[in-house]
Amino acid sequence: MNGIARTLTILVLAGALLYTAFSLSFGAPAASDMDDYFIQHGQEQTGANNIVTAVVFDFRGFDTLGEATVLFTAVLGVGLLFRKFSAEEDE
Amino acid sequence: MMTRIVRTAAGVLFPFVLIFGFYIVAHGHLTPGGGFQGGAVIATGIVLLVAAFGAGEIGRRIGPGALKGSEALGLLLFIGTAALAFGFGGTFFANWLANGGAIFGNVVPFGPNPGDLNTGGVIPLMNLAVGIEVLGALSVIVLLMFKGVREETE
C-alpha cells in the first residue's frame, strides 16, 4: 500500500514536471533586440570575434568585476578557514 | 605522493596543460574561452601536480603566498585596466584601445573571419588579468584544502 502510494506520487510529480518542461518554449525569445544588437555591432565596436567575451569583458564589465570580487572573497574565506596551515607555511 | 609512473606522466603532461591554458587565455577574444576558462585549465595543471607529488611538496615549491599574490595581482590588473580608461577620456570599463590602429587595435570585418590576434582593445588585457587571478585563486583553494585534509588524517 505504502509502495503503491509512493509510486503514484512519483508518477504524478514526474508527469506534472515533464508537462511543464515540454510546454515551455525554448529557442524563440519574444524580445531579441538585445541579442541582435550584440550580434550586429559587437565585432565593430569591440574588435573581438568572440561575442561572448565581448559581452563579458566589455558590454557587461561590471558583472565580471563582481565575479572576480566574489572569487577573491571565496579565497579569503578559504584562507581564513585553513589559516592554521597557511600560518605554518609562513613560519 | 603517487607511484613513479604517475609522477613521470604528470611531469610530462604539466607543460602541455600550461601551454593549453595560456593559449585559451591569449585567444579569449577570438575562440571560445577566456580568462576564467584558461585560468581554470592552468589551475587544473597545478592540481595534477598536487595529486601526483602531494600537497606538501608542491606547497613548498610554489607556496600559497605566491598564488595568493598572483590572485591579488590579477584583480588589481583587472581594475587597473578598467580604470585606465579614465586617462583616455572614457568611462570606467570603456574599450579605448579597440579600433585604434595601435596595439590590439586592428579593425575586424563583420561576419565570420579567420581572426586576428591584434584585435579586441582592452579585452585581451582583461582576459590576461582575469586568467592570472583565476589560476591563483583556484590553485590556492585546492592547495590549502588538500593540506588541511592531509593534516587531519595523519
**Helix, coil or strand: residue B106:** coil
Cα separation, A13 vs B9, in Å, equals 49
Look at residue A64 and tell me if it is in a domain. yes
B107: cell is 579593425
Look at residue A91 and tell me if it is in a domain. yes
Nearest to A89 among B63, B98, B111 (CB): B63
Q: Cβ A50–B32 below 8 Å, yes or no?
A: yes
**Angle, CA of B49, B42 and B18, to the nearest 5°:** 80
Residue numbers of the domain that contains B66: 4-153
Look at residue A16 and tell me if it is in a domain. no
Chain A and chain B share a number of CB contacts under 8 A equal to 136
A contact residues 23-82, partner B, Cβ 8 Å cutoff: 43-50, 52-54, 56-58, 61-62, 64-65, 67-69, 71-72, 74-75, 78-79, 81-82
- The count of domains in chain A is 1
Per-position b or e across B124-149, b if 16+ CB within 10 A of its CB: bbbbbbbbbbbbbbbbbbbbbebbbe
pLDDT digits (tens, 9 = 90+) for B43-99: 999 999 988 988 778 878 887 788 888 999 999 999 998 888 888 877 888 888 877
Q: Cβ A47–B145 below 8 Å, yes or no?
A: no
Taking CB atoms and an 8 Å cutoff, what residues of chain B touch A39?
none
Q: Is ipTM > 0.85 here?
A: no
Residue numbers of the domain that contains A79: 49-91
Look at residue A4 and tell me if it is in a domain. no
Phi, psi dihedrals of residue A38, rounded to the nearest 5°? -60, -45
Q: Do B71 and B133 form a contact (C-beta atoms < 8 A)?
A: yes
DSSP code, position B108: P
pTM above 0.90, yes or no: no
- The count of domains in chain B is 1
pLDDT tens for chain A, 91 residues long, are 688 999 999 999 999 999 998 888 777 677 788 888 888 888 888 888 888 888 888 888 889 999 999 999 999 998 888 877 655 555 4
Confidence bin at B37 (pLDDT 50/70/90)? very high
Cα separation, B54 vs A35, in Å, equals 47
